[in-house]
Amino acid sequence: MRHEIDFYYDIVSPYSYFAAIQIARLEAETGARVTWKPIFLGGLFRELGNTAPLSLAPKKHYMIEQDLPRLGRHYGVPYQQPAVFPTNTLTAQRALAALPVDERPSVSLALFDHYWGHGRDVADIALLQQVFNSTALEKAGSDEAKSALKNNTDEAIARGAFGAPTLIWKEAIYFGADRIQLLLNDLIEVGK
């Protein structure tokens, strides 16, 4: 039996970056199929009443100065704190939502690398033009793309998501990059 997992993410989320880089391993080691579902984290927070997720200065300091650089070293990937954080990812997320499902992983990983790996602002249209083909970027403003992103965000909320990254397997929620290993363990256990 092939396990189906939904991965809800936003490029603005550093923990989504560290989750995304683990997805290929998760699929390879378990045979699971992960569907990448871009959401708009700002819309999710607004809908749930979480209006200031980084308002605690000690939390923000810990995250930016200690946790994220540590995770970059742990996973062996580039990490550079973006000068613009948080940034507005609405255009990028809409363009991702409009892409065919099988194209989302590679494009998302490229965006994550630009934003979290090298600190480049993914709200910059010139950068988005480098990552997306012109048709995909043009679709970002379409009603179809807007609806797709809103539907993914609403679906995530309806399924119990309260942030990103959220992975859902059989309605079980795995929240955060550090929960990928737990999901992998659970999938391996079921496969025995």
pLDDT tens, residue by residue, 5-47: 999 999 999 999 999 999 999 999 999 999 999 999 999 999 9
Tokens of 26: 């998760």
Task: Report the alpha-carbon distance of residue 127 to residue 123 in Å, rounded.
Answer: 8
pLDDT of residue 26: 97
Which is higher by pLDDT, 168 or 191? 168
Strand order of the sheet with strand 166-169? 33-38, 4-9, 166-169, 172-175
> Does residue 2 carry a pLDDT above 90?
no
pLDDT exceeds 90 at position 57? no
Instruction: Tally the residues of the chain.
Output: 192
How does DSSP classify residue 39? -
| Average pLDDT of the residues in 49-75 | 89
Domains plus CATH for the chain? 4-191 (3.40.30.10)
159, 160, 165, 166 alpha-carbon torsion, rounded to 10°:
-60
> Do 169 and 187 form a contact (C-beta atoms < 8 A)?
yes
pTM: 0.96
Confidence of residue 1 (pLDDT cuts 50, 70, 90): low
Name which residue leads in pLDDT, 57 or 87: 87
pLDDT of 133 reads: 87
Question: With contact defined as beta carbons under 8 Å apart, do 77 and 187 qualify?
Answer: no
Average pLDDT over residues 61-79: 96
pLDDT at 151: 98
Residues 94-118 have a mean pLDDT of 97
Instruction: For residue 87, give every residue at least 6 positions away whose Cβ sits within 8 Å of its Cβ, in sequence order, or none.
Output: 12, 115, 121, 122, 123
> In the predicted model, what is the mean pLDDT of the chain?
95
Residue 134 pLDDT level (bands cut at 50, 70, 90): confident
Residue 192, pLDDT above cutoff 90:
no
Share of residues in the chain with pLDDT > 70 (%): 98
**How confident is the model at residue 59, as a pLDDT?**
87
